[in-house]
Every structure is written in structure tokens, then in C-alpha cells.
Amino acid sequence: MSQQVRRVLDSISPETAADVARGIKRLFARNNIWCVEEMALKNARNEWRRADLMGVDARGQVVIVEIKVARSDLLGDTKWPDYLDFCDRFFWGVPPGLDRSPLDGEVYQPERCGVIVADGYDAEIVRPAPLEPLAAARRKVQVERLARTAMRRHTALLDPECSQFGVEE
């Protein structure tokens, strides 16, 4: 097998981002952390980002998970540090087969970022994320935005006519 073919095969993960998200959401649910997918966030430069998973635990702490299922996607992502301003804890979510060694490098701030390994059925925290408390005012804004986003999505799911009203920030 050629090296080029091997590189392509190595970059393909059997798990998709949806599988990893499902496993993480199950882990979080068992720990009373509830989250939404694709949460829009506006950074200090007025640019929009989307956190793969953003949730709130029973103490009101905000958690963000950035999911990566391919090494190239992980190595090419330069926008993720923007998420640190929006959460008390930040995790990388990856499938079991992905090489996690880059996440130990300084650029990925291992002292600030946890790691969760997940598949479509379950997940495990392999490196806990330390608590870096948000300012109370910022946490309040984020929790309210999460609640409104979740309620809007839930209402639109139950009554698609309502999806035309309001906008997701």
C-alpha cells in the first residue's frame, strides 16, 4: 500500500462527529450536564464561532466541547482558543482511534483543556478540564443564551411554524 493511500486511510475515522457528540451527551447526562449542539458565540473581534457542544452543569458552570474526528481537522483548527472566554471548563472530544498526542502540546493548552474520548455509545474523560471560573456576569449571559437557544429549538421541533420567529444568535 502506498504511503499516500495509508495517510488517507489513517485520516478516516470510523466515528463521525455525531457519534462522538452522542457519546459525550450520554456521559454528560449521567453527570447532570445538559448541552446543546452548534451553539453560536461571538468573539471579541465580532466574529461568530460555533461550539460543537455547550452545556451547563448542576452548579451553573458552563462547559464547552470541541469535537475533532480527524487529525488534519485538529491540527488545522486555530479558532478554538476563542471558546475559552465562554466557559468554565473546556474539553476536546475525540474518537478512540484518533492520535491524541498533539493535545499534549503547548499550543493546545493541556493545563487548561480536558480530553474526552467517545464513540456513538459512551464516553470517558481521560484528562479532566480544570475549572477556570467565568466572571459571574458573563456566566449569567451565557446560561441565559443557552436556555433561550434550547427553548427556541425545542419549540421549533414541536411546532415548525415557530421556527420562522426569532433568530439564533
Q: Which residues 6+ apart lie within 8 Å of 113 measured at CB?
A: 90, 91, 92, 103, 127, 129
pLDDT of 1:
47
User: Nearest 5°: CA angle at 134, between 78 and 90?
Assistant: 40
Q: Is residue 142 part of a domain?
A: no
What does the alpha-carbon distance between residue 35 and residue 57 come to, in Å, rounded to a whole number?
9
Q: Which residues 6+ apart lie within 8 Å of 45 measured at CB?
A: none
Q: Is residue 48 part of a domain?
A: yes
pLDDT of 42:
84
DSSP for 18-47, written as a single string: HHHHHHHHHHHHHTT-EEEEEEEEE-TTS-
Q: Is residue 160 part of a domain?
A: no
pLDDT of 164:
79
Q: Is residue 161 part of a domain?
A: no
The torsion of the CA quartet 110, 114, 12, 107, rounded to 10 degrees, works out to -20
Which residue positions in the chain have pLDDT lower than 70?
A: 1-15, 167-169
Instruction: Give the count of domains, the chain.
Output: 1
Q: Is residue 145 part of a domain?
A: no
**Which domain does 46 fall in, by range?**
3-133
Residues of the chain with pLDDT > 90, as a percent, come to 79
pLDDT of 35:
96
Q: Is residue 144 part of a domain?
A: no
Which single residue is written with the C-alpha cell 457542544?
53
- 119-155 pLDDT per residue, tens: 999 999 999 999 999 999 999 999 999 999 999 999 9
Backbone angles phi, psi at 56, to 5 degrees: -130, 135
What does the alpha-carbon distance between residue 70 and residue 91 come to, in Å, rounded to a whole number?
16
Ordered strands of the 34-42 beta sheet: 34-42, 48-56, 62-67, 89-94, 113-118, 123-127
Q: Is residue 147 part of a domain?
A: no
Q: Is residue 157 part of a domain?
A: no
CATH number at 83 reads 3.40.1350
In this structure, the strands spanning 113-118 and 89-94 are parallel
